[in-house]
Amino acid sequence: MNLSDDTVKKIRELIVFAVIVVIIGANWQLCLSALLRLVSVLSPFIMGGCLAFVANIPMKFIESKLGFVKKPGARRALGIIITLLLAVLIILFVMLMVIPQLVVSLRSLQSVVPVFFNSASEYISGLIKEYPELLSPLSDVRVDWNSVISTVSSWISNSVSVILPGTVTAIAGIASSLTNGVIAFIFALYILIGKEKLLLQAKAGLRAFTSERHYVMTVSVMRLIGEKFSAFVTGQCLEACILGMMFVVTLSIANMPYAILIGVLVAMTALIPVFGAFIGCVIGAFLMLMQSPVLAIIFVVIFLVIQQIEGNLIYPHVVGGRVDLPAIWVLMAVTVGGAFFGIVGMIAFIPIFSVIYALLRSYVRLRNEAAREESEEAKKDTELSAAIKDVSVRLRLDKDIDKKDLNKEENDNEQQ
């Protein structure tokens, strides 16, 4: 049996792939630990890439408005500087809005919490006076205070021996996080400065090691990923700002406390899709409960109303329309991403699922078009076969008629 070169190449690739899969399957724990170690080492660069991707969204818009700057290098530097200034201004604005309100809230809680516990204590005392039988199960309880003191002393000594190494570990972790943050920031600046050159180098390397078909396919998929992630980040940030402003305005009109603080917290937690705003609801309800249970109930009602408006009117148009993902896919993405990777997964899996959904939709459309073309070709072939058959039948009938006419003429000649 003679095999072509392409067939031999495909068989060789399948064998290599099967061997790799078997090796990974037999040593999956070692491979997983090695992968996690690699991700840990590359985490500053992964973080820097994410920062560069997010910062590139406003930077492109700013550069498009700096057409009066003729030199591309100067325009890029000015765009980066303005983007960083905007980020610093946003952080300062949030801090100026949140920190004073947080200080006021803590002072208010400092005065409210003792009153709350005193009221609860008075209520429990009155309940016990009115129903003294409630204490009857505790009358037979005997406390060994020597054992309690010994246990507490042992716990304190053990805690000291654990706290000191834990403190050293915490300090080392903070220093490592700061170092990774600095490396990520510098790496993000390098990417933003030379993104065009890096993109050309990546395309050249991809073209050198892949076929033209795989190159075009990979570039198309990566372009789709970039578009979906950019649309999601833009839409999610815009939706969070709209939701926060709605809470600030509504709570201010209702003359409720902590309007700005709750609005900022809801806007920040709303960056987590679907479930994020409910975290802000829990914090806001707790703050209102310290003031009055009635205010807490009113706040929960206001939150549910605003959440329904946001979920049914704002989110589908602001975010859903940008990523082009049905609501059931959004819920699935948030659930799966949160189960595997926590908050980061909940945020990242929506654009990932959007890319998968777009690729599946394109593939299904191409398959349907191919099936439709095959059906049309088969129909044409059937019609052609039917036409040929009809012509052959007609020719056979004409031939039979001519043969009958000829036989008739011969019979007439013989009779004459």
Task: Write the DSSP assignment of 344-357 as a string of letters.
Answer: HHHHHHHHHHHHHH
Q: Which pLDDT does position 310 carry in this prediction? A: 79
Confidence check: pLDDT of 318 > 80: no
Q: Which pLDDT does position 408 carry in this prediction? A: 59
Q: Which pLDDT does position 290 carry in this prediction? A: 73
CB atoms within 10 A of CB 120: 10
Q: Which pLDDT does position 85 carry in this prediction? A: 93
Instruction: Report residue 73's pLDDT band, with 50, 70 and 90 as the boundaries.
Output: confident
- Residue 104 Cα distances to 99, 129, 137, 193, 285, angstroms: 9, 38, 44, 43, 17
Q: Which pLDDT does position 118 carry in this prediction? A: 72
Whole-number CA gyration radius for the chain: 37
Domain boundaries, the chain: 44-115+175-209
Confidence check: pLDDT of 359 > 70: yes
Q: Between residues 320 and 324, which one has the greater pLDDT? A: 324
Confidence check: pLDDT of 353 > 70: yes
186-195, 248-257, 287-296, 375-384: segment of lowest average pLDDT: 375-384
Confidence check: pLDDT of 116 > 70: no
- d(C-alpha 413, C-alpha 406), whole Å: 11
Q: Which of the given ranges, 104-118, 181-195, 364-378, has the highest pLDDT on average?
A: 181-195
Task: Write the DSSP assignment of 242-307 as a string of letters.
Answer: HHHHHHHHHHHHTT-SSHHHHHHHHHHHTTSTTTHHHHHHHHHHHHHHHH-HHHHHHHHHHHHHHH
Biggest CA-to-CA distance, the chain: 148
Confidence check: pLDDT of 331 > 70: yes
User: What is the three-state SS of 187-233?
Assistant: HHHHHHHCHHHHHHHHHHHHHHHCCHHHHHHHHHHHHHHHHHHHHHH
For the residues 165-188, what does the mean pLDDT come to?
Answer: 81
141 HSE (CA, 13 A, CB side): 7
Answering whether pTM is above 0.75, one says no
pLDDT digits (tens, 9 = 90+) for 6-37: 777 777 778 887 888 888 888 878 888 888 88
- d(C-alpha 348, C-alpha 337), whole Å: 7
**Residues 32, 33, 34: CA angle, nearest 5 degrees:** 90
Confidence check: pLDDT of 139 > 60: no
Tokens of 284: 């806001």
Q: Which pLDDT does position 172 carry in this prediction? A: 75
Q: Which pLDDT does position 404 carry in this prediction? A: 57
Closest among 40, 414, 393, 96 to 260, alpha carbons compared = 96
What 3-state class would DSSP assign to 255? Answer: coil
Q: Between residues 355 and 169, which one has the greater pLDDT? A: 355
For the residues 116-124, what does the mean pLDDT come to?
Answer: 71
Confidence check: pLDDT of 235 > 60: yes
